[in-house]
């Protein structure tokens, strides 16, 4: 069931989104060689809890961290650890959620650690651009979910990369994951028709190599099958009569 939000519910989601975005930005400022993913996670948790919210991911399905922090060929769902130390040239994906006032926010970004390769920077920028194209597609009159996925996948493919097919974006609101699923691939003109009041997490996961991924024995961390780099970019997006609103943008 898709839950369409009214203006008051979107206002409450803006609060959750702001806290989410601030926590992500704070962690991004900490990214540098020598920092552990546990330190990033601790920073995120402190910020969220100081704002009166709680980390959406902590304990979700048994997840042990407040954020998902994934490095290089890890796509998503990396478990924070005091043993995982960032190195010069890494790219680190940080995925954050916050819950307050009955609603969730969800946002992710990929950060370079010091000087990274031109290829890594190109992948990061392409992933962000594919997100922007997905939002543009979602905001068109009469848009369907397939238009969003087609816009993302079409651009990613043109750039020589692959979108992850096994994991997708999602609706979001009182639950962290609501209907509908929001794939980063699809056929234009197909799928659920989008309407004002829908709130969705659009989140391209883009691999420099093939689309294949697998889950590590820890049950969470997702890696590229071919060992290629992967980037991730996400915002919680509200579709409104005045255009799309990135609820997690700060």
pLDDT score recorded for residue 248: 98
pLDDT score recorded for residue 97: 98
User: Shortest CA distance to 119 belongs to which of 231, 9, 5?
Assistant: 231
Sign of the Cα torsion 148, 98, 21, 14 reads positive
The per-residue DSSP string of 82-127 comes to TT-B--TT-EEEEEEEEEETTEEEEEEEEEE-SS--HHHHHHHHHH
pLDDT score recorded for residue 199: 98
pLDDT score recorded for residue 225: 98
The domain 7-246 having CATH identifier 3.30.460.80: the answer here is: no
**% helix / strand / coil in the chain, to the nearest 5?**
30, 30, 40
Residues of the chain with pLDDT under 50: none
- Contact between 178 and 172 under an 8 Å Cβ cutoff? The reply is yes
User: Cα–Cα distance between 38 and 27 in angstroms, integer?
Assistant: 11
This prediction has a pTM of 0.97
- Contact between 92 and 71 under an 8 Å Cβ cutoff? The reply is yes
Give the three-class secondary structure for 5.
coil
pLDDT score recorded for residue 146: 98
In the 8-state DSSP scheme, what is residue 174? S
pLDDT score recorded for residue 151: 98
Query: Where in the chain are the domains?
Result: 7-246
Which distant-in-sequence residues (6+ apart) come within 8 Å of 150 by Cβ?
137, 185, 186, 187, 188
pLDDT score recorded for residue 27: 98
- Contact between 243 and 134 under an 8 Å Cβ cutoff? The reply is no
As separate numbers, helices (DSSP H) first and strands (DSSP E) second, the chain gives 4, 15
């Amino acid at each position: 069931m898709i839950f369409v939000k009214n203006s008051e519910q979107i206002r409450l989601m803006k609060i959750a989104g702001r806290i989410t975005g601030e926590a992500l930005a704070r962690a991004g400022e900490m990214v540098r060689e020598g920092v552990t993913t546990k330190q990033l996670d601790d920073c995120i948790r402190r910020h969220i809890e100081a704002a009166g919210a709680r980390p959406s991911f902590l304990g979700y399905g048994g997840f042990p961290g407040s954020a998902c922090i994934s490095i290089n060929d890890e796509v998503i769902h990396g478990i924070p650890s005091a043993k995982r130390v960032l190195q010069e040239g890494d790219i680190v994906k940080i995925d954050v959620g916050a819950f307050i006032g009955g609603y969730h926010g969800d946002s992710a970004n990929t950060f370079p650690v010091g000087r990274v390769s031109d290829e890594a920077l190109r992948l990061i920028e392409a992933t962000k651009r594919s997100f922007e194209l997905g939002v543009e597609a979602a905001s068109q009159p009469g848009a369907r979910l397939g238009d969003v996925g087609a816009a993302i996948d079409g651009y990613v493919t043109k750039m020589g990369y692959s979108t992850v097919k096994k994991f997708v974006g999602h609706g979001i609101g009182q639950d962290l994951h609501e209907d509908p699923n929001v794939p980063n691939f699809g056929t234009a003109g197909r799928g659920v028709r989008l309407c004002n009041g829908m709130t969705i997490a659009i989140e391209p996961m883009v691999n420099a190599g093939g689309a294949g991924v697998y889950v590590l024995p820890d049950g969470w961390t997702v890696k590229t099958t071919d060992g290629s780099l992967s980037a991730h970019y996400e915002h919680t997006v509200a579709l409104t009569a005045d255009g799309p609103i990135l609820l997690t943008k700060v």
